[in-house]
Structure 1
Amino acid sequence: MAVDADGSRPAAAGGARAGVTPGPVRAFVAVQLDEAVRTALGVQLERLRLAAPRVAWVPAQNLHLTLRFLGGVEADTLPRVTRALEALAGEARPFELAVGGLGAFPTAARARVVWAGLSGGGEAVRALAGRVEAALAPVGFEPEARPFSPHVTLGRVRAPRPDPRLEAALADGAGLDFGRVRVDTVWLMRSDLGAAGARYSAIAAVPLAGR
């Protein structure tokens, strides 16, 4: 993730990027994690990497909770997305999330996506994701077919197959607490894919202003 010097927040997007092809912007709406939570998850990432080195693990600085993946968005649509987020943010109140536990989709025994879950604040983040979904529908984004399942993606399994070491590592982390996050901003992010992986930068930061 492109971040400020202290690593705490995404950098603002702006201007042309060297090596970035003009065209649709790969975008998503997200909640950012506190640096302390990222650090705690980074410790687990190192442990998991030793257990399952073939998994494509996410760099700790890139960790976030996706509210809605938008895919390729035309540049002239992004201001409409931002305005839609600003409208919903005026009615949405800040809240806290507790990040805790490790797991995998669909199961630890057949892992495709390895994640950190939530031990608190799940209802609030589901409600926020629902607001995002409703706000973006008039902009042209169809509702997701699958129910929203809040999580922080830690890694993706390139070739899913039974992996007892990964399964054991996830079981060992099932009850871990990674800290709390105050959610007071919704972030519209862009993802630029390159040889070194994804680079994330912020298009807009929209404060939650509801009372």
Structure 2
Amino acid sequence: MDKRLFIAANISEQTRSLIRAIQSDLHFMKNDIRFVSPQNIHLTLKFLGDVPVKQISQIVTKIESSISSFQNFTYICDGTGVFPNPNRPRVLWLGITDGSENLKKLSELLNIALNNMPVQQEDKEYRSHITLGRAKGFKESRLKLNEFLNYQFEKIANPVTELVLFESILRPKGAIYTPLHRFKLK
């Protein structure tokens, strides 16, 4: 039996409130965007994919070892954007400024630690962001996308004191994320 897993940093309640406000302000985009439920919002560091249950304890040990000396830090949410580009938006995100290098370093440490494990390997460079929603297609106007890209808000600090190994169970009404293990930073 396999479990679909990922490793993430949680977000602050202030950031979660901001995301609710953004989604509320952009409710007119609901036909074009499938917004992520605010309680499911997180900052992914590594997607592991479908992992055999018998391997999870070994993965936990490798993660603990790889980040054991990593210090707590803070990242800043600032700005909005899309992947892959504004002409073909698929993912709408909240940007990360200060602290993004620490997030990238954590992602690299996790990739190295889990390199020989039965997990999905990344083929692209890590880019710090918080996914807000996925585009179904902007059928009407580019003005909707521009309103999102120009959305203004105050920068928000998010302390990172732990990482979380989550199980993701996909359901027709949306994914359910269950924390399996927490990894404290120093």
Q: TM-score, normalised by structure 2?
A: 0.92
Q: Distance in 2 between matches of 1:113 and 1:163?
A: 17
Matched letter for residue 195 of structure 1: P
Q: Distance in 2 between matches of 1:93 and 1:180?
A: 16
Within the candidate set 55, 58, 78, 1:77 is matched to: 55
SS in 2 for 1:149: coil
Matched, 1:141 2:141: no
Moved over 6 A (4+): none
Superposed CA offset, 1:30-72 (max 9, x none): 0110111111111001222323433111011111110011111
Deviates more, 1:162-171 or 1:198-207: 162-171
Which of the two has greater strand per residue?
A: 2
Q: Is the 8 A contact 1:100 1:117 kept in 2?
A: yes
**2-structure distance, mates of 1:140, 1:55:** 33
Distance 2:176 2:84 in 1: 27
Cross-structure match for 1:204: 181
TM-superposed deviation, 1:119 = 2.2
1:109–1:167 contact (8 Å) kept in structure 2: no
The answer to whether residue 110 in structure 2 is matched with residue 132 in structure 1 is: yes
- 1:180: how far off? 1.0
Q: Name structure 2 gaps, 5 residues minimum.
A: none
Write the letter of the residue equivalent to 1:147. E
Shift of 1:178: 4.7
For residues 138 and 162 of structure 1, the distance between their equivalents in structure 2, rounded to whole angstroms, comes to: 46
Query: Superposition pairs for residues 79-118 of structure 1, below 5 Å?
Result: 79-118=57-96
Relative distance call for 1:87 and 1:112 in structure 2 (3 A) is same
Tell me how many residue pairs correspond in the alignment: 186
Query: 2:2 and 2:138 mapped to 1: Cα distance?
Result: 30
1:119 aligns with 2:124: no
The equivalent residue for 1:151 is 129
Residues 145 and 85 (structure 1), Cα distance of their counterparts in 2 relative to 1, 3 Å cut: same
SS of the equivalent of 2:115 reads: helix
Are the aligned partners of 1:52 and 1:166 in contact in 2 as well (CA < 8 Å)? no
Tell me, yes or no, if the aligned pair for 2:51 and 2:119 is still in contact at 8 Å.
no
Letter of the 1:204 partner, please give it.
H
Q: Matches of 1:162 and 1:113 in 2, distance apart?
A: 17
TM-superposition CA deviations, 1:87-143 (whole Å, max 9, x none): 122121111000111110112232110000112111111111111111111324364
Residues 115 and 153 of structure 1 are in contact (CA less than 8 Å); yes or no, is this contact kept in structure 2?
yes
* TM-score where L is the length of structure 1: 0.82
Paired residue for 1:6? none
What residue ranges of structure 1 are gaps of 5+ in the alignment?
1-22
The offset of 1:151, in angstroms, is: 0.5
Counterpart in 2 of 1:64? 42
2:4·2:49 contact (CA, 8 Å) conserved in 1?
yes
Q: RMSD over aligned Cα, in angstroms?
A: 1.7
* Fraction of identical pairs, as percent: 25
